[in-house]
Chain A
C-alpha cells in the first residue's frame, strides 16, 4: 500500500513545493548569462545547434527536427496564436520534454536554476522576445466539463472544422492530407495520432489540447482557431447550426438564400472587428463586447472539441506485455473466433511497443508505428491471434524514389524454432535470429489473406520455408488501423516450425514496416523478445482444496481446545 502511494505522496509534496517556488520566482527567466550559454552548449547544442538554428550534429536524423529558435516559432505555448511563449512555457517544455519526440525531460539532469538559465539563453536567439509587452495568454477559465454531451458536440465539430482532412475519421492521423504535410522548414511531418495521447507533444490533458486549438502549433500545418477564421465566427451556436443546415443544401429557396445572406452579413461584421484587432486598432466598447461574445462561442466549441479529442485515447500508454501483462492466449472449447467476431472484444489486448531498428544499416531513426496490440484464443488443436496496429497510410506497393525498391506495409511475427528450456537457456538473437534460427510469420498488405512462414538466421538471412503449413490469415485496413487475424494448428509436421503446447512460455517478437515512411528490408520497427503462453484452463481443484483446508483448520482448532481442556481438568 505504502509503495503504491509513495509516488503520489512524493509528487504532491513536490508539486506543493513547486507551486511555492513558482509563485516566488517563476514566470520570468533571469537575464541571459554565461551560465545559460554553458548549459545550453553542453546539453542542448548537439540538437539545436550552437546558434539555435536547430541544426546540431544530431539534427539530421531526427523527425520532428529539433526546434529552430531563431524564428520564434514555438509549438507548445499557453499563449495566443502569433505570440511568443511565456518563460514558464519554455521552462515547462525543458522540464518535461516532448513525448513522441527526441526531446527528453531535463528535470533529472539539470537543476531548476540551470533550466531557467537555459530559458533566458534560448530567448536571445529571437528578437521577438525583446518586445516588452507580455504575451497574451489563453484564457482557460471557461472550461467545459468532460461529459458525454460535450464529447458528442465535439465530435460533430471535428468533421465540420475539417480536422478529418489530416487526423482522419477516428483520429488516427490517417487523414487523406497526412502523407503530404511539411513543416515551416519543409521537413515532412505527420499529424498526431489522436488515439495515442501519450505521444502528444504538449501533453494530453483537455487543457493541453484546448491550448493547441486556440494557440495553434506554430511551425506545423496545424492551424490555430483564431476567432475570425473559425467556422461561423460571430454567430451563436444555434445560428451556426442553422447555417450549416442551409449550407449543406444543394439548392436553396429564395427565403433560405436571404436567411443565409443575413448570417453572412453578421459574420462579416464580426470578422471585421477581429481583423481590426489583429491590425492593432483599439476598439470601442460596443465592438469589444461583440468580439468577446463571438469569442465566447469559439472557446465553447473548442472545449467541446478538446473533450472529444481527449475521449479518443486511453488515459495513459498501456503497460508493455511483460511480467503479469504477458500475452496469454485464452482457451475456449469449439471453433476459434474469426476476424470481426465479438468474442475478441471480451479480451484485453497485450501492448507491445515497437522501436526503430537502428542496429544495422539501413536504420530507421524516425519510426511511425508505435506498437502492436495482440489478443489470442486457442482450443485443443489450434491457436488464433489478432494483431492490431496503427499506420497512418495504407501502402500496398509504392516505389521508393531513391532506391527503386518497392515499399509496402507489412508485419512479421517472430518465434524461436525451439522454445528455450528454462530462463538461462539461450534464445535466438532478437533481430531475426543468428546462431539459433527463428520461425516467422510474414504478412504484407498486398496479399492480405496470406501469411508466409519463414526461417531466419539473421536479418538478411531469411528464407521462405519449403513446406508451408496450413496457416489461415485475414488482414484489413480501416481508418488508420490494421487488423490481422492468423490461425494455425498447435502442432505441425514441419521440424522448422514452432510447436505449441499449453503452459509453456514462448518468446515472441515483432517487426513492422510502414511503406510510406520508407520502411523496407532491415529499415523497419522492431521489438525485443517478449513472451506469450497458452494460458492453462484454471484448475477446478481451486474449488476443492481451499475449503477442505479451512474445514481441517476448524477441526484442528476444536481439537486443540479439547486437548487443552483435558489437560486442565
Chain B
C-alpha cells in the first residue's frame, strides 16, 4: 500500500515538472520566427569579410511525400510533385535553409533594386523559399494558364490574398513596411502549393542551394550571432552560432540539422 502511495506521489511530482515544460513547448511558436535587429544602419563596407558554409541534414531522410494533385491535372499533373518541406541532396546537403546574421546593426545597404520573383509553374512555387527586402516588390509569375491565388499569411504586415487569373502572367505585390518571417505563401485553389517568404531589413540573409551552401558577403568585421531557419528542422534562435569576421577574411560555419521534434 505504501509503495503504491509513494508511486502516486512520485507520479504527481513528475507531472508537476513535466507540465511547465509542456507549456514551454507550447510557446515555441515565438522561437520559430526569424530574429531581426531593432535598428539597422546602412554604410559603406570596404573591407568586409565573408561567412560561408554548408548545411547538412542528420538523421534518416524520410522519403519525399508525393503531393496529391486534386485538380487541373492537365497542367498540374504533368510531373510528379513532392512536398518540399525537406529537400536533402547529395551528401545530405540541406536545401532551402535561411542562414542569416541575427544581431547586425550596421552594414551594407539593402538592395532595393533587386527583383525577387516566385514562379507558379506546373502548380508549384519556385523557389520554395524566397528572401524579399522590406519595401521591395515581389513579382509573381503565372506560367500555367490556370487560375491561381497568392495568399500570404502575414501577421506583422497586412495579409495578402490576390487572385492571379490564368491570363495574368505577371503580378507585382506591394513592398511591405515591416520585417517579418518566415511567412507562408499558399494557393488556396491548389491546396498543395506552398512557399515561404522572409521580408528582411538588412542584406545579410542567404538561402542554401542544392549543395546546402550559403554565403554572406561584405560583412563588417566583428563578432556576430549566426542563425538559421528551416521549415522542417526549425531554428537555432535559442543557441545561435557565434562567428567572428575579420577584415577581408573568410570564416566557415557549417550546420548540421535534424528534424524538429513534433
Contact = CB atoms under 8 A, between A and B. Distances in A.
B155 interface: yes
B167 A223 contact: no
B191 A275 contact: no
Interface in A145-186: 160-162, 165-166, 176-177, 179-182, 184
A221 B149 contact: yes
B185 to A, nearest CB: 13
A172 to B, nearest CB: 16
B154 to A, nearest CB: 10
Given A216-B161, A226-B162, A229-B164, A271 B172 contact: yes
Interface string B3-37: 00000000000000000000000000000000000
Interface string B110-152: 0000000000000000000000000101000000000101010
Contacts of B58: none
Given A223-B149, A229-B163, A166 B188 contact: yes
B163 A223 contact: yes
A162 B72 contact: no
Grouping DSSP codes into helix (H, G, I), strand (E, B) and loop, the B interface class, with mixed when no group exceeds half, is loop
Most buried by A among B153, B163, B171: B163
Contacts of B153: 184
Nearest to A165: B189
A397 interface: no
A247 interface: yes
Given A162-B189, A247-B167, A223 B71 contact: no
Interface residues of B, number: 31
Nearest to B151: A221
A280 B177 contact: yes
Interface of A: 71, 73, 82, 160-162, 165-166, 176-177, 179-182, 184, 216, 218-219, 221-226, 228-229, 231, 243-244, 247-248, 271-272, 275, 278-280
A219 B151 CA distance: 10
Most buried by A among B149, B159, B161, B172: B161
A165 B148 CA distance: 9
Contacts of B147: 162, 165
B118 to A, nearest CB: 15
A270 to B, nearest CB: 12
B172 A176 contact: no
B188 A181 contact: yes
9 contacts: A71-B155, A161-B163, A162-B149, A177-B70, A181-B191, A182-B188, A222-B161, A224-B162, A280-B177
B231 to A, nearest CB: 15
A180 B70 contact: yes
A224 B149 CA distance: 11
Contacts of B71: 165, 176-177
A538 to B, nearest CB: 52
Given A271-B172, A279-B175, A184 B159 contact: yes
Given A181-B188, A271-B172, A223 B155 contact: no
Given A184-B159, A221-B149, A162 B166 contact: yes
B177 to A, nearest CB: 7
Interface in B156-213: 158-159, 161-168, 171-175, 177, 188-192
Given A180-B191, A218-B159, A223-B161, A275 B70 contact: no
A182 B175 contact: no
Most buried by B among A219, A221, A280: A221
Most buried by A among B167, B173, B175: B167
B158 A223 contact: no
B165 to A, nearest CB: 5
